[in-house]
Amino acid sequence: MQSYFYFSALDYIGVGLTSILLYIYPALVVLTLWLVKSQKPSLSLWFGIALAFIGVALCFVEEMQHLSKPLGIYLALAAALTYSCYLVVSEGVLNKTLPLLVSTFVCLGAASTYFIKIIMHEEFTTPMSSDGYLALFGLTILSTVLGIQYIFKGIELIGASKASILSSVEPVTVVLLGSIFLHESMTLIKIVGFVLVLLSVIYISHNKIKS
């Protein structure tokens, strides 16, 4: 559901605003754990969340002008909500199950769901070039399989709250890689956002914050 909402939102509001709205999920994770599991967040944890969110927002603030339809906002918020629930549930599951096994079921479940959707809508296409297959390999193996495995391992080691905040490095990495490989502009405001997210990661990593 999270990936479907996320990619659907991109059709309406673009990657900038979608990324900003998605990355309210660390706050949703902390709030959910507080309400459901009585894991009261500290002020330090909220500070780390605020620092990361401001950094992400600065990285994509220049792209927010491309807003076209409000539906995209609702889809992006739905992606944030479902992803926060996903991480909270995962924390409980990982207390009893290995991250690799959980990752296997997640990938199989997502693949099966999308396969059914493809068959029903006859939308299946294959890449038209070797670059397309290379990109597909990167999306499936590096970004999805390994990404899911690492986030689950992180949740197992440090909990869903900290793991969700530290994962805020993802969108600013996109900005950095876009600048290096796609020659996209790296403006001052994006650099400031990048630095803020890194400071959040360093802060969370070096402080004993209650989950």
In this predicted model, what pLDDT tens digit does every residue of 142-156 receive, in sequence order?
Answer: 888 888 888 888 888
pLDDT score of 109: 87
**Is the torsion defined by CA of 73, 79, 82, 84 positive or negative?**
negative
Residues 6 or more apart from 159 whose CB is under 8 A from it? Answer: 91, 211
Q: What is the mean pLDDT of residues 150-167?
A: 84
Q: What is the mean pLDDT of residues 48-71?
A: 73
Residues 6 or more apart from 192 whose CB is under 8 A from it? Answer: 55, 58
Average pLDDT over the chain, rounded to whole? 80
pLDDT score of 205: 64
User: Which of these ranges, 4-18, 20-34, 119-133, 193-207, has the smallest mean pLDDT?
Assistant: 193-207
SS3 68: coil
Q: Are 5 and 76 in contact (CB under 8 A)?
A: yes
**0.75 exceeded by the pTM?**
no
pLDDT score of 211: 44
In the chain, which ranges are E strands?
none
Q: Does 207 have pLDDT greater than 70?
A: no
Top-confidence residue, 186 or 81: 81
**% of the chain beyond a pLDDT of 90:** 2
Half-sphere exposure (CA, 13 Å, Cβ side) for 33? 27
Candidates 143, 138, 150, 169; CA nearest to 103 is 150
Top-confidence residue, 182 or 104: 104
pLDDT score of 63: 64
CA atoms of 37 and 177, how far apart (whole Å): 37
The segment with the largest mean pLDDT, out of 11-25, 29-43, 51-65, 148-162, is: 148-162
